[in-house]
Amino acid sequence: MSTPIAIIGTGMAGLSAGQALVEAGLDVRYFEKSRGSGGRMASKRSDTGSLDLGAQYFTARDRRFADVVQQWRARGWVGEWAPSLYQASEGQLSPSPDEQVRWVGVPRMSAISRALLGALPTEFSCRITEVFRGDQYWHLQDAEGKNHGPFSRVVVATPAPQASNLLAAAPKLASVAAGVAMEPTWSVGLSFERPLDTELDGCFVQGGALDWVARNRSKPGREPVPDSWVLHASSDWSRHNLDLPREAVTEALHGEFAELVGCAVPAPSFSVAHRWLYAKPTSSHQWGALGDADLGLYACGDWCSSGRVEGAWLSGQEVARRIISHLQ
Ligand code: FAD
Ligand code: NAI
């Protein structure tokens, strides 16, 4: 068996890269700092069901990604979400239907990463702090001081601010990653015992603290009760309230939601708040991926492309393409 390739991060970019490398007959090993896979496509499980606190849905505009999404659909990993869409501007709520096809993981967003990762060897709860090269091979060090390796190549598939340190062995790549700014997003989940009296399933919000609101049960495969909602704060609000306690964030966004939705919104029976420190790159890039093929060190992620699920998938494909073509 050949020396494996290490992939740091099990978000969509790392999973996409790993799939393509395995299909090419290469051996991969994943390292993931969280307890589960999916990164920003993770779902929060609770007694009241699971909620997609990160990515809400995704679109497929690139033909290659659209083809793959159809395969996922055939396997039952994703379903089409056709919400009753609204928009709100300056406090004015109005229906905003469109023709866009939107996809979600079924029965939760994290179903996709679960399926893509399958049985591939993964070290969870393992935060990599250093990537270094010996005479011939790469090694990783984790936050507990444990060494992992040897590896023929390393793919860093984390958000840019976390990638720059891990790319220190290739200063040019590290400095490109260090130059990418990413915005935070506060995300709040609320569950109500009795369904809210509204037609709204999803709403794009402009002005104020909120940016997006979604009704969980309108997505395919979700439990109908309780009536759970996900609220996302705008980047500006999230940045200004980065260190606010979770309870205060929940209260503030619950209040904004009650004003926006135009029906009675009681106290929730369950609530959760999650802070995404590196939610989205401030701008799109067209790098596809970064890499030093001679060294064998690479980076991918949504920040190398569009800051969306599709961009992350495309970036993972690009990193795999570069590795495979360097081997030929
Ligand atoms: P990530 O998903 O961030 O994966 C990186 C992984 O690396 C994570 O699992 C992380 O734990 C791990 N990691 C980081 N550092 C280390 C380390 N040192 N050692 C080990 N592991 C490490 N996109 C859409 O298309 N549609 C949407 O509606 C949408 N909504 C969003 C809403 C929110 C609130 C957020 C946060 C994102 C949203 N996005 C949306 C963006 C989408 O989620 C991302 O573009 C995509 O999931 C990024 O995938 P990735 O693999 O590049 O990064
Ligand atoms: P999309 O085409 O549905 O949305 C793109 C943007 O177009 C929306 O943000 C919204 O402003 C506008 N829009 C689309 N349909 C609309 C409608 N019916 N009425 C009013 N406005 C509408 O999906 P795409 O391009 O795949 O984007 C993904 C979504 O993910 C976006 O909404 C984006 O803001 C969100 N996102 C959020 C992040 C976060 O951290 N909060 C991170 C990355 C993406």
Peptide bond into 107 cis (omega under 30): yes
Q: What is the pLDDT of residues 293-326, one digit of tens each?
A: 999 999 999 999 999 999 999 999 999 999 999 9
d(CA 236, CA 234) in angstroms, rounded, equals: 5
pLDDT at 250: 98
Domain residue limits, the chain: 5-42+113-179+287-327, 46-112+181-281
d(CA 252, CA 208) in angstroms, rounded, equals: 11
pLDDT at 166: 98
CA of 206 to the centre of ligand 2 (A): 12
Q: What is the pLDDT of residues 260-271, one digit of tens each?
A: 998 999 999 999
pLDDT at 232: 98
CATH number at 5-42+113-179+287-327: 3.50.50.60
Concatenating the DSSP letter of every residue in 18-67 gives: HHHHHHTT--EEEE-SSSSS-GGG--EEETTEEE--S---B---SHHHHH
Residues with C-beta less than 6 Å from any ligand 1 atom: 8-14, 31-34, 39-41, 54-58, 127-128, 157-159, 162, 185, 187, 232, 276, 279-280, 301-302, 307-309, 312
- pLDDT-based confidence at 46, cuts 50/70/90? confident
pLDDT at 48: 79
Q: What is the pLDDT of residues 239-290, one digit of tens each?
A: 999 999 999 999 999 999 999 998 999 999 999 999 999 999 999 999 999 9
216 or 90: which leads in pLDDT: 216
Q: What is the pLDDT of residues 99-132, one digit of tens each?
A: 999 999 999 999 999 999 999 999 999 999 999 9
Q: How far is CA 293 from CA 139, 153, 215, 282, in A?
A: 17, 9, 45, 28
Q: What is the pLDDT of residues 15-33, one digit of tens each?
A: 999 999 999 999 999 999 9
CA of 38 to the centre of ligand 1 (A): 7
**Going by C-beta distance under 8 Å and a sequence separation of 6 or more, which residues neighbour residue 182?**
159, 160, 161, 277, 278, 279, 280, 281, 282, 303
CA of 56 to the centre of ligand 2 (A): 9
d(CA 26, CA 1) in angstroms, rounded, equals: 9
CATH topology of domain 46-112+181-281: Polyamine Oxidase; Chain A, domain 2 (3.90.660)
Q: How far is CA 223 from CA 48, 62, 237, 272, in A?
A: 9, 31, 31, 18
Percent of the chain residues past pLDDT 90, beyond the cut: 95
pLDDT at 1: 62
- pLDDT-based confidence at 90, cuts 50/70/90? confident
